A and B are shown apart, each in its own frame.
Chain A
Amino acid sequence: MTDTPTDARYAETHEWARLDDDGHVVVGISDYAQEQLGDVVYVELPEVDQQVDAGAEAGVVESVKAASDIYAPVSGTVVAINTSLEDAPELVNQDPYGDGWFFAIGPDSPDELEDLMDAAEYSEFCEASEAGE
């Protein structure tokens, strides 16, 4: 069983998004996603001040066997990136919802979070795609 915290929202492309106290949307990949990928060896992040659109590519996460694009879950401006992933990509595996965060967006409209799945819906979504394999 993978961990799916209820304080975050989830995209079908397996990013989580959480609104922090500053009104920024922090983004990472889910526990389920990191487990599917295996040991993460590299993360490519967007740049601070870069404009991103919901659903558009904003980075890449690589393991030895796979590479996945990271899509911005909401539109807005990148306000922070997790530079510690440069030297320690394993944080994505060790703490996907904490120290393994990718970037934070100053959202154009925080309401966009509502378009994402909640934890229960996401867990169901993952189970369904497992079964479909």
Chain B
Amino acid sequence: MPFLPHTNADVASMLAVVGAADIDELFDEIPSNLLNTGRGNNEPAAGDAAGMSEMEMLRHMAERARADETGPCFLGAGAYDHHIPSAVWDIASRGEFMTAYTPYQAEASQGTLQLVYEFQTMMSELTGMDVCNASVYDGGSGLAETILMAVRAGERRSRGGPAGGRRSVALAGAVHPLYAAAARNIVGHQGIDIVRLPYGENGLADPSLLTELSEPPAAVVVQQPNFFGLLENVDAITDQAHECGALTVACVNPMTLGLLKAPADWGDGGADIVCGDGQPLGIPMASGGPSFGFICTRQSLVRQLPGRIVGRTRDLDGNPGFTLTLQAREQHIRRAKATSNICTNQGLLVTAATIYLSLLGPEGLRNVAGACHARTRDVVAALDLSRRFDAPYFHECVLRLGRPARPVVESMASRGILGGLALGPYFSDLSDCLLVCATEKRTTSDIRQFANALQDAVGRAA
């Protein structure tokens, strides 16, 4: 066994202290019929009995990894191929960050705690909110947590008041369909109904639909930019939601907030809760995880916020220091009445995102956002295809191929190009449409290669 330090002499002297003849004796409280001695008829627990050396394991894994390497990526839809500064993971991978536990012993965890406090500040700046939690799992489950929070907030805000007892939430039609699915699967168990508002012919949510709902919602969720890359009329939606006595929930890509209006400034009153996925902030796509979800909100709703929160305080000598706070919301204290069951979060990814944001700064983040949009504009210009929706787009765009998109995507993949997302499986009316995306990493040559491959694939599919 590769990671045990015990010598035979150690084992003998330890057993002597315990007063046991052998290690098997330490398991004598377990009913013998349940015990796998490893010498009986029980099948082995894993693969080869002996195990691989690190070299063999790395070879095995590297072969698998190499099989999946592809050329340039024009696929976005919630995971984005950005440049990650070298320093980000050099530092985040330090054992002191990577192998620490949740910072319950504050005095021995000031590194993680201060970093999270800085993270909370940066996310609050980006969104314009007062406070951010120290992460939830991802954008999809984070949307579920946000909806639960909004419903709770409605109940608290007005026991017997205007939003009390509301158990439904309205979701703009072009919110990420996989976020919507995760949210529905999670909140449905508490009897909360998610009403999907259809997107219009322009691909956008129509605020006037909110007035036509059979019952007023606890919250209205809108994504900016939406799943199609379109810029929603967030000001009008926010105002209309507030008009209906509902909270406005903003689902955002934090990278875009280097350039786009902060949700706190939407409409007259601003969004009330902001959620999203932090993957664009220095985190590799890595098949979708781990990244991290985040939830930001106003100070007045902080007690309904799920997940850990770090606060600044003072130590015995009066010096500033950091500690977890508001823990009475959490499962280890509040148990069945906790704001969520979450305990393990996505802390290491928050570490990476904090380092990323400090390296990029306001100008860097703005320029990354600008470059992503410019490269996507280049893609659209390089193709002789029409856009499916005519509303302004940012960083992602839906193109109409005039034939089923799925075989086209497969055909490009066979040439090593991730050519976008075929929308048919998610929206039956868009089966001839392709969602494409470019980041600051895409070069002119990548774009030319993509344009040629797409043209070929469309031609072949015809």
Contacts and interface: CB of A to CB of B under 8 A. Distances in A.
Contacts of A67: 328, 333-334, 337
Contacts of B333: 65-67
A72 B337 CA distance: 18
Majority SS at the chain B contact face = helix
A103 to B, nearest CB: 13
Given A65-B333, A67-B334, A50 B159 contact: yes
A46 interface: yes
B339 to A, nearest CB: 11
Interface string A55-84: 000000011111101000000000000000
A47 interface: yes
Query: Most A CB atoms within 10 A — which of B303, B328, B333, B334?
Result: B328
Interface size class of B (residues with CB under 8 A): under 10
B303 A50 contact: no
A125 interface: no
Contact of A63 (B159, B160, B303, B328): B328
A46 B160 CA distance: 11
Nearest to A62: B328
A81 to B, nearest CB: 12
A42 B337 CA distance: 16
Contacts of A66: 328, 333
Nearest to B334: A67
Nearest to B161: A47
A64 B160 contact: no
Contacts of B327: 64
Interface in B311-366: 327-328, 333-334, 337
Interface size class of A (residues with CB under 8 A): 10 to 19
A6 to B, nearest CB: 32
B328 A50 contact: no
A89 to B, nearest CB: 12
B159 A46 contact: yes
Interface in B132-161: 159-161
B160 A50 contact: yes
A47 B159 contact: yes
Given A67-B333, A67-B334, A42 B159 contact: no
B328 A64 contact: yes
B160 A42 contact: no
A66 B337 CA distance: 12
Contacts of B160: 47, 50-51
Contacts of A44: 303
Contacts of A47: 159-161
B107 to A, nearest CB: 15
Contacts of B337: 67, 69
Contacts of B161: 47
B344 to A, nearest CB: 21
Contacts of A65: 333
B82 to A, nearest CB: 40
A85 to B, nearest CB: 14
B387 to A, nearest CB: 50
A65 B328 CA distance: 7
Nearest to A41: B328
Contacts of A50: 159-160
Nearest to A64: B327
Nearest to A65: B333
Query: Most B CB atoms within 10 A — which of A51, A63, A67?
Result: A67
Interface string B417-434: 000000000000000000
A42 B303 contact: yes
B34 to A, nearest CB: 35
Interface string B153-182: 000000111000000000000000000000
Interface string A12-44: 000000000000000000000000000001101
A47 B158 CA distance: 9
Contacts of B303: 42, 44
A44 B161 CA distance: 17
A82 to B, nearest CB: 17
Contacts of A46: 159
Contacts of B159: 46-47, 50
B299 to A, nearest CB: 13
B134 to A, nearest CB: 17
A69 B327 CA distance: 16
Given A66-B328, A67-B334, 13 more contacts: A41-B328, A42-B303, A44-B303, A46-B159, A47-B159, A47-B160, A51-B160, A63-B328, A64-B327, A64-B328, A66-B333, A67-B337, A69-B337
12 contacts: A42-B328, A44-B303, A46-B159, A47-B159, A50-B159, A50-B160, A51-B160, A63-B328, A64-B327, A65-B333, A67-B334, A67-B337
Smallest CB-CB A-B distances: 4 pairs: A67-B328, A62-B328, A67-B334, A50-B159
